[in-house]
Amino acid sequence: MRILIIEDEPGIALFLKEGLQEESFAVDVANDGPSGLELATVNDGEYDLILLDWMLPGLSGIEVVRQLRKISSQVPVIFLTARDTVQDTVFALEMGANDFIKKPFSFEELLARVRVQLRGKQSENSKIVHRNLVMDLNTHQVFVDSQDVSLTQKEFALLEFLLRNKGKVCTRSRIIEHVWDIHFDYNTSVIDVYINALRKKIDGNTDTNLITTIRGVGYIIKDE
């Protein structure tokens, strides 16, 4: 995971850099707006996250984000700032920022927010393992007891969502939003149908029970 820090105060920049390196991130630092923007645009796609100071010499943080979004860079941006009025927050979010941390902040807090932004990416090139089930996100394969189980796109997406939220109940609204990208007015029983299909393919005729129904709420893959 590569992180770009755009911050003019050397003390803070160093503090962040070392802290993040200890967490095994690859960290680059730019100490003014223009050079930060250049690094970000030239290496677009390379960075998994940008930590961006609001007040910067040369080019303000806001302007950096604007330019970045203009070239349709999707990289998550977290603002670091002393300001904290609601207007500023909203403004920054509207300009394309993903989150907003007000100084002074604890490193713990920053780390938590960084992980939120990187969630998903962090395990992107890897596998999700749950008991006797292995989901390979690269090859789009699923194995149960090392047996290849072939899933359709939607089945795969649904299972992935449930597994990523292992231990938490996935409500129907959440599922329909994330897996089907329907944001309003869902009145459909697709979820039921796909849960059914998954259960058939995964649990088969064994008496295991991967997906648990929480009546009136949704579904969950229990932890342990």
Give the interface with a second copy as residue ranges (CB under 8 A): 11-12, 15, 18-19, 22-23, 86-87, 89-91, 93-94, 98-100, 104-108, 138-140, 152-153, 167-169, 171-174, 177-178, 183-185, 214-218, 220, 222
Question: Whole-number minimum distance, CB 49 to DNA, in Å?
Answer: 24
Among 108, 54, 98, 106, smallest CA distance to 77 is for 98
161 three-state secondary structure: helix
Partner from DNA, a second copy, none binding residue 44, C-beta < 5-8 Å depending on class: none
Question: Whole-number minimum distance, CB 203 to DNA, in Å?
Answer: 10
- Using CA atoms of 184, 185, 190, 195 in order, give the dihedral in degrees to the nearest 10: 70
Cβ atoms of residues 142 and 136 within 8 Å: yes
State the residue for tokens 């911050």: 7
Return the number of the residue (87 or 205) whose C-beta is nearest DNA: 205
Which DSSP string corresponds to 35-93? HHHHHHHHTTTT-SEEEEESS-SSS-HHHHHHHHHHTT----EEEEES---HHHHHHHH
- Burial (CB count within 10 angstroms: exposed 0-12, middle 13-18, buried 19+), residue 134: middle
Among 86, 19, 14, 5, smallest CA distance to 47 is for 5
Partner from a second copy, DNA, none binding residue 194, C-beta < 5-8 Å depending on class: DNA
Question: Whole-number minimum distance, CB 25 to a second copy, in Å?
Answer: 12
Return the number of the residue (43 or 150) whose C-beta is nearest a second copy: 150
Can you give the binding site for DNA, defined by CB under 7 A? 150, 152-155, 172, 180, 188-190, 192-197, 199, 213, 215-218
Question: Whole-number minimum distance, CB 207 to DNA, in Å?
Answer: 13
Return the number of the residue (35 or 190) whose C-beta is nearest a second copy: 190
Return the number of the residue (138 or 147) whose C-beta is nearest a second copy: 138
Report how far residue 136's alpha carbon sits from residue 142's, in angstroms, rounded to the nearest whole number: 6
Partner from DNA, a second copy, none binding residue 184, C-beta < 5-8 Å depending on class: a second copy
Partner from DNA, a second copy, none binding residue 195, C-beta < 5-8 Å depending on class: DNA
Distances (CA, A) of 188 to 132, 176, 183, 184, 194: 32, 10, 13, 12, 12
Question: Whole-number minimum distance, CB 88 to DNA, in Å?
Answer: 34
Return the number of the residue (172 or 178) whose C-beta is nearest DNA: 172
Return the number of the residue (74 or 209) whose C-beta is nearest DNA: 209
